[in-house]
Amino acid sequence: MRLGVLDVGSNTVHLLVVDAHPGARPLPAHSHKADLRLAQLLDDSGAIGDDGIEKLVDVVRDALQAAEDKGVEDLLPFATSAVREASNADEVLARVAEETGVRLQVLSGAEEARLTFLAVRRWFGWSAGKLLVLDIGGGSLEIAFGIDEEPDAAASLPLGAGRLTAGWLPGDPPAPDDVRALRRHVRAEIARTVGEFARFGAPDHVVATSKTFKQLARIAGAARSADGLYVQRELKRESLEAWVPRLSAMTADQRAELPGVSDGRAGQLLAGALVAEGAMDLFGVESLEICPWALREGVILRRLDHMGSA
């Protein structure tokens, strides 16, 4: 059957259409994306204003039309941290439902971490052993660890690349003092959670998902997206540590000229790099592998599991 996943994230609203059946690998059929940057549309009270809600409604309506055009039988719509943390989340959800008919399921941070972990486990299989999974979104950092399909530990921290850029790095390029302050903040936040994971022992395999990690791996020399899903892509901490000061000295336009870095994400790349570097350092990770599957695929896989057991 043809499934659609509508992901209302902090940076983008992304419709992923796949051909999927229980027990089979979901095959991508179509992708429809809109840069909305919901996390940056919050007002001083933490609410998404009328203008932001109207933009969200329009984007959801466009995605719904794209899903219909592509023959989607079942749409799985969800929202992550930007909507979850908006002070008027209920109003936003009600307006979207009233004006488009789409009822967004708001995922908790822990649910995001668990679903992403499921996708990574299915991609790498049981032979990967104990997995540590890191995912940097626009609004939050998800961390999960485990040996099964459900992680033994999962955490969500307010360390998304978009959120941190807006709140901590106003300059372009940012002031060195601002970069240092953000680095301290990021590491203090991550350090609080390390103990929750350390008691489970060392991972056998460390994996990262998300656009931020993919772009960091690409500028550090990993293969291009055009080279295919099945090419192994790694990011070494040593390479990342060498890139952070270079990214700090660049403007957003200069970062956008780096290989694999999009205009829309260039402004957030430094904050994302500081989070990635901090997580790898504090968890003692020398090298990690990039997984092409993440939260959207986890949502699809969970739905297929339920279909298969029905």
CB atoms within 10 A of CB 137: 30
Q: How much is the average pLDDT of 168-184? A: 97
E strand or H helix at 146: strand 141-146
With CA atoms as reference, report the closest residue to 186 among 113, 252, 271. 271
Task: Tell me the average pLDDT across 150-159.
Answer: 97
pLDDT digits (tens, 9 = 90+) for 95-131: 999 999 999 999 999 999 999 999 999 999 999 999 9
Residue 194: C-alpha distances to residues 102, 143, 189, 278 (Å): 38, 10, 10, 11
Give percent above pLDDT 70 in the chain: 99
- Residues 175 and 272: their CA atoms lie apart, in Å, by 16
Please name the residues in contact with 154: beta carbons below 8 A apart, sequence gap of 6 or more: 110, 113, 114, 117, 142, 143, 144, 145
Residue 243 has pLDDT above 80, yes or no: yes
Model confidence band, residue 44 (pLDDT cutoffs 50, 70, 90): confident
CA distance 297 to 291: 11
Which residues are within 8 A (CB) of 26 and not within 5 positions of it... i.e. 6 or more apart? Answer: 3, 18, 19, 20, 297, 300, 301, 304
Residue-wise pLDDT for 254-285, tens only, equals 999 999 999 989 999 999 999 999 999 999 99
Q: What's the Cα-to-Cα distance from 135 to each of 21, 40, 124, 307, rounded to whole Å?
A: 26, 20, 16, 27
Domains of the chain, each with CATH number or no CATH: 2-106 (3.30.420.40), 109-295 (3.30.420.150)
pLDDT, tens digit, 9 for 90 and up, residues 11-32? 899 999 999 988 889 999 999 9
Taking each continuous run of H as one helix and of E as one strand, the counts in the chain are 12, 11
Q: What angle do CA 258, 226, 72 make, to 5 degrees?
A: 115
Q: Mean pLDDT throughout 65-92?
A: 96
Q: How many residues does the chain have?
A: 310
| Res 225: pLDDT | 87
Could you give the residue ranges of the DSSP H alpha helices within the chain? Answer: 50-69, 81-84, 89-100, 109-124, 161-168, 176-198, 211-219, 237-249, 252-256, 263-266, 269-282, 295-309
Name the residue among 222, 223, 204, 163 with its Cα closest to residue 9.
Answer: 163
Closest by CA to 63, choosing from 27, 11, 115, 102, is 102
CA 51 centroid distance within chain: 25
Q: What is the mean pLDDT of the chain?
A: 95
